[in-house]
Structure 1
Amino acid sequence: MTVISNIFLVDSPAPAVHLLLAPVLVAAGYPSPAQDYFDGRLNLNDHLIQDVTSTYVVRVSGHSMEGAGISDGDELIVNRALEPKDGSIIVAVLDGELTIKRLRLMGGGVVLQAENPEYPDIRVADLQSLTVWGVAQTCLHHL
């Protein structure tokens, strides 16, 4: 099962992180001619954080979400203010345990879907305690 190993609060107000921004797309297939200039700086907070008061970074532990591009050791940017929908990747508290799964709202109830065939989906029984802690927005995947 994929679980949370650490939770980090995003600094409020978040310090600006400025990186150089290349003005061109980089080809992942065949190489394209290189551009010799940069087009200013990019503030990662503007691109990654919608609401600093409800945003956390959680570190992932486990392999059940690999099919969704979430690997062991990755960090997820999680917004607690977002409304979870069918298909959202959520951080859930199931019977007191934190886990990351895809939320499936079925006619017969709630399913926490794994994204790795080696792990079973979790059908939430009526007597189980389920809280959606937050909705994952971005995965910071390590290469």
Structure 2
Amino acid sequence: MILHQSNNLTFFTPAESDSLGALFYDAGISAGFPSPAEDFKEQRLSLDKELIKNKEATFFARVSGQSMIDAGLDDSDLLVIDRSLEPANNKIAVCFLDGEFTVKRLKVDKEGVWLQPENPNYPIIKITNENDFVIWGIVTNVIKKVY
């Protein structure tokens, strides 16, 4: 279910699931030399349990844009956002800024708050008293498609 859509992010709520999860092989997938097949241990894995720590405060949002590519957040990636986590310096946050949602790295010090993109083609945004600004949630995970 879509909750909200803006130019930069589309928000979803996690769907209820009674499934036991997908099959998970707890042997590690070698990125070097193949390992023997008999080492695989089959069990069930729930991505809800792996990615969502506070179900009531967790939302998904799809990224639109390139401002965070150097942090590994690409266009169309799915973000897992926890609204119960405290904002802190260097965390990646979803923010509501002057009528739009955006995702940026927080830079906080005694002189103020900045939203730092992870792409040199985008400017750092200094938050002032004139801004309509809310830190909406902290990004905890990113889900990517592999093409």
The answer to whether structure 1 residue 16 and structure 2 residue 19 are counterparts is yes
> d(CA) in 2 for partners of 1:10 and 1:45?
8
Change (3 A) 1:52 1:68: same
Other-structure match for 1:101: 104
- Structure 2: state its 5+ residue gaps: 1-6
The answer to whether structure 1 residue 39 and structure 2 residue 78 are counterparts is no
The answer to whether structure 1 residue 3 and structure 2 residue 19 are counterparts is no
Q: CA RMSD in A?
A: 1.6
> d(CA) in 1 for partners of 2:35 and 2:130?
60
- Among all aligned residue pairs of Structure 1 and Structure 2, give the percentage whose two residues are the same amino acid: 33
The answer to whether structure 1 residue 59 and structure 2 residue 71 are counterparts is no
Contact 1:20 1:38 in 2 (8 A): no
> d(CA) in 2 for partners of 1:139 and 1:126?
31
Matches within 5 A, 1:75-90: 75-90=78-93
The answer to whether structure 1 residue 123 and structure 2 residue 140 are counterparts is no
Report Cα offsets for 1:54-82 as digits up to 9, x if no partner: 11000100000001110000010001111
Relative to the length of structure 1, the TM-score reads: 0.89
> d(CA) in 1 for partners of 2:20 and 2:134?
33
Relative to the length of structure 2, the TM-score reads: 0.87
Q: CA deviation at 1:9?
A: 0.9
Moved runs in structure 1, 4+ residues, more than 6 A? none
- Structure 1: state its 5+ residue gaps: none
Contact 2:20 2:44 in 1 (8 A): no
Report Cα offsets for 1:10-61 as digits up to 9, x if no partner: 13x4443511111211222x22323244321111111011111111000100
Q: CA deviation at 1:107?
A: 2.5
1:93 partner SS: strand
Residue 33 of structure 2 aligns to which amino acid in structure 1?
Answer: P
